[in-house]
Structure 1
Amino acid sequence: MADTSTSGGERADILDLLHKHRELFLVTVRGLTDDQARQRPTVSELTLGGLVKHVSRTEQSWTRFIVAGPPEGPEIDWARIDWSNPPPEVREFQDSFRVLEDETLAGLLAEYDAVAAATDALVREVDLDSSQPLPKAPWHEPGSRWTARRVFLHIAVETAQHAGHADIIRESIDGQKSMG
């Protein structure tokens, strides 16, 4: 049975890392309206609401990977996509960065909270040394595997990276900075 204590040790460190990066990320959307969450004040296509949605879905997909391995699905040749008419799985990926008409920032934040709680529960339960083969992709070395531990660290890194994107977007909207 896995150690489920969080009073110290590796699991507590992983949870602390995840919590700190999530909090820094969420600072960027505090007090925003739905309209502000959809704004694109920079040359990027990214919006704050879209980043919340993307970070949430990415975290959820990586925790599914820990439990079930790489997803089944069509291989996508990203270099040959007709961007004027992308296939459905590419449109779905693009929509993971967008706040759709029927979505609200509050709803996206509630979804993110639920995903974070599920991830935290998995950190407490899973064998951190269990591993899965990475999906075939040009950015993964063929035949490589990641442990659950490595995936949790990757989730923290992804969250931190997108917190930086979000900080720039928020500062462009109203001057608010996460730090400094």
Structure 2
Amino acid sequence: LDGAANMAGVTSRGARIKDLSEFTDEEWGFIMGVNLTGAFYAMRAQIKEMEAGGVVHVGTSIVNAGSIYGIEGKAKSSDYSATKHGVVGLSRIAAKEVGGKHIRVNCVAPGIINTPMVQNLSKPFLEGHERTLEQNQALHRMGDPTEIAKLNAFLLSEDSSFITGAVLTEDGGQVC
């Protein structure tokens, strides 16, 4: 295995705006299970496979899906933000642990990307995103999934051979 991209990400079921104290154990467990525990299981298996393959070359790389909300946090979305903070931390820790074995680990932190997950958000969530794009984001538009795919391809390639432990935002200038 030369490269892997772990791009799982879900919002809470129903994508409701809630305070931290309002989440049920089931809701918390669901999103943690997919976004953070899923990334852990995938990385653990991928690293074992990369190590078992023998000679690891310069391009061997793992890229994980973080989020800008894993960097700055998002009120009323503590479950999602917490999972993405966890993915950012897990990526940085793994980069230090496996870097000596020539395995690179990085994290992409997209902003608001036009995906089915975003399109299926509740109306208050969508209205909040529209305000964010208008008021807080330099390019005033959603990103396209192909833009994220190109960043992932770069991070998985030998062209990024000296990049590891990085968290790269691709958010149209929302966090800058």
Structure 1 length normalisation: TM-score? 0.28
Structure (1/2) with the larger strand percentage: 2
Structure 2 length normalisation: TM-score? 0.28
* Higher gyration radius (CA): 1
Quick one: higher RCO (CA 8 Å, sep 6+), 1 or 2? Answer: 1
Structure (1/2) with the larger helix percentage: 1
